[in-house]
């Protein structure tokens, strides 16, 4: 039986720049990596109907999301020549200007890393059962809509 390594994806609150640099630092020991591609989603303070977004509060169908992230992970390794990859997504409140999604792919060559990263980001946006509640400065809210 193939053992499935567990990969934690959900992070409580914002993903910090320090978290990103630690992730990078860990990969310096893997000296057959030639290219890293990183995507970071940052919360915007959009103005919607005159109200400014102060934060997004993320919730998820955790068990289903974890299975989906695992499925995306396996598909990425199957479709691209990757050495490693990581997905981190916030749950809970993330303020405007903070980071809520971090996708990190590493490969021997740049094109595989870049394409895999984009592939993973697109699948997460379309397929991961995660919802963002846009909380305005006046404490009202609306449910976020993802653009294509």
Partner 1 sequence: MNVNVLVFGQIADITGKESLSITGVASTDELVQLLQQKYSGLKELKYLVAVNKKIIQQSTELKDNDTVALLPPFSGG
Contact residues for a copy of itself (CB under 8 A)? 17-18, 20-22, 24-25, 27-46, 96-99, 106, 108-110, 113-114, 117-118, 121, 125, 147
Residue whose C-alpha is closest to residue 115's, from 75, 146, 143: 75
Query: What does 60 bind: a copy of itself, partner 1, none (CB cut-off 5 to 8 Å by kind)?
Result: partner 1
- Tokens encoding 74: 């396996």
Candidate residues 89, 112, 116, 135; the one interacting with partner 1 per rule CB under 8 A = 89
Residues in 22-81 that interact with partner 1 by CB under 8 A: 41, 58-61, 63-64, 67
Candidate residues 23, 70, 114, 144; the one interacting with partner 1 per rule CB under 8 A = 144
For 63, the 3-state DSSP assignment is helix
Q: Which residues pair with 68 in a beta bridge?
A: none
Cα–Cα dist 79/147, whole Å: 25
């Amino acid at each position: 039986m193939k053992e499935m390594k567990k990969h934690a994806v959900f992070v409580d609150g914002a993903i910090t720049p320090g978290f990103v640099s630690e992730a990078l630092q860990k990969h310096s020991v893997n000296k057959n990596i030639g290219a890293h591609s990183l995507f970071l989603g940052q919360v915007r303070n959009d103005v919607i109907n005159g109200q400014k977004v102060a934060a997004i509060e993320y919730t998820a169908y955790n068990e289903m999301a974890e299975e989906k992230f695992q499925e995306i992970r396996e598909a990425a390794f199957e479709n691209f020549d990757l050495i490693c990859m990581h997905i981190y997504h916030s749950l809970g409140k993330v303020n405007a200007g903070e980071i809520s999604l971090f996708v990190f792919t590493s490969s021997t060559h740049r094109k595989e890393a870049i394409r895999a990263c984009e592939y993973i980001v697109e699948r997460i946006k379309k397929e991961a059962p995660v919802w963002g509640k846009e909380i305005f400065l006046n404490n009202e809210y609306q449910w976020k809509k993802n653009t294509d």
